[in-house]
Amino acid sequence: MTSIQLQNVSVEFPIYNSPSRSLKNRVLSVATGGKIERKSDRLVVVSGLRDVTLTIREGERIGLVGHNGSGKTTLLRVLSGIYIPTHGEVSIEGHCISLINISLGIDPDATGYENIRLRGVMMGMSPREIAEKMDEIAAFSGLGDFLDVPFRTYSSGMQLRLAFATSTAVRPEILIMDEWLSTGDEEFKGRANQRMAELVDATKILVLASHSRQLLAANCNRVIWLEYGRIKMDGAPDEVLSAYFGC
């Protein structure tokens, strides 16, 4: 059973290169960003998440909203198992892939085919899986003979096409995304959106951080609103989105 459970999770970032200066003992509360507090005489700490308790079950499509610095990316990283929280417990059941930077692992001097392979390895695909999906990825990218020349010779649109085609070929149980992936010209955009829908349908849990109300309303069945690293609201999309966007 695929699931994610957070129990009283807090994440605190130590800032080593900033002297505690005049922060005194007070806690700074600012419009954006987490709380900055002084732990001891030497250490300055920014808390990214504070006391978050959350259970995500199979079939849930979670939307994350919140201002810049409200802890969205930090939460995504906790959910993918990258940050181990400073306090609290996390348990992640299921194979998880995060599509945050889809160009990660790409070597500009390698050819298109080589890059499909490299990106596949980076996402944890086995050689057999990569071989099986190679043709389909190549066809979807629509790059044809360009796949035999170095990646750096591509236009930026073509580079994104290849990265997108490869990244969306995975079928994880848990999919984590920071903003929706959409790219290319009109023709490609249509196919890309369809492919994204297929990918999302195939996963058991989706967590999507976005600033687009329309996107969240269309893809999510639960929305979480983060503020200052805490969950401010958690519920049905209609309810939370109208409270967050203010209408």
Partner 1 sequence: MTSEAVSSAMHHSVGSSGMRKTGARVALADMVESLRSIRVALVFGWQDVAQRYRRSRIGAFWLTLNTAIFIAAIGLIFGTLFRAPAGEFLLYLGVSIIVWNFLSTTIAEGCTTFIASEGIILQVRMPLFIHIIRTLWRNVIILGHNIVIFPVVLFLVGDFLDWKALLAVPGLLLLILNLAWLTLVCALICTRFRDMTQVFTNFLQVMFYLTPVMWMTRTLPERVPSLVYEVNPFYHLLQLVRMPLLGEYPDGISWIVALGVAVVGWTWAIIFFGKYRWRVAYWL
Summarize as ranges the residues that interact with partner 1 (CB under 8 A).
2, 13-14, 77, 80-85, 89-96, 98, 100-101, 104-105, 107, 109-110, 117-118, 121-124, 127, 150, 173-174
CB of 74 to partner 1, least distance (A): 10
Give whichever of 39 and 189 is closer to partner 1, judged by the CB atom: 39
Nearer to partner 1 (CB atom), residue 229 or residue 237: 229
| Min separation Cβ 119 and partner 1, Å | 11
Q: How does DSSP assign 65-132, residue by residue?
A: E--TTSSHHHHHHHHTTSSPPSEEEEEEES-EEEES-TTTT--TTSBHHHHHHHHHHHTT--HHHHHH
CB of residue 222 to partner 1, shortest distance in Å: 21
Choose between 180 and 244: whose C-beta lies nearer to partner 1.
180
Minimum Å gap between C-beta 94 and partner 1 is: 5
Give the span between the Cα atoms of 153 and 94, in whole angstroms. Answer: 38
In the complex, minimum distance from the CB of residue 6 to partner 1, in angstroms, rounded to a whole number: 9
Q: Residues near 187 by Cβ (< 8 Å), separated by ≥ 6?
A: none
Contact 37, 71 (CB under 8 A): no
For residues 211 and 180, what is the distance between their CA atoms, to the nearest angstrom?
A: 10
Closest to partner 1 by CB, 210 or 225: 210
Q: Distances in Å between the alpha carbon of 128 and those of 61, 117, 133, 214?
A: 30, 11, 9, 38
Nearer to partner 1, 104 or 233 (CB): 104
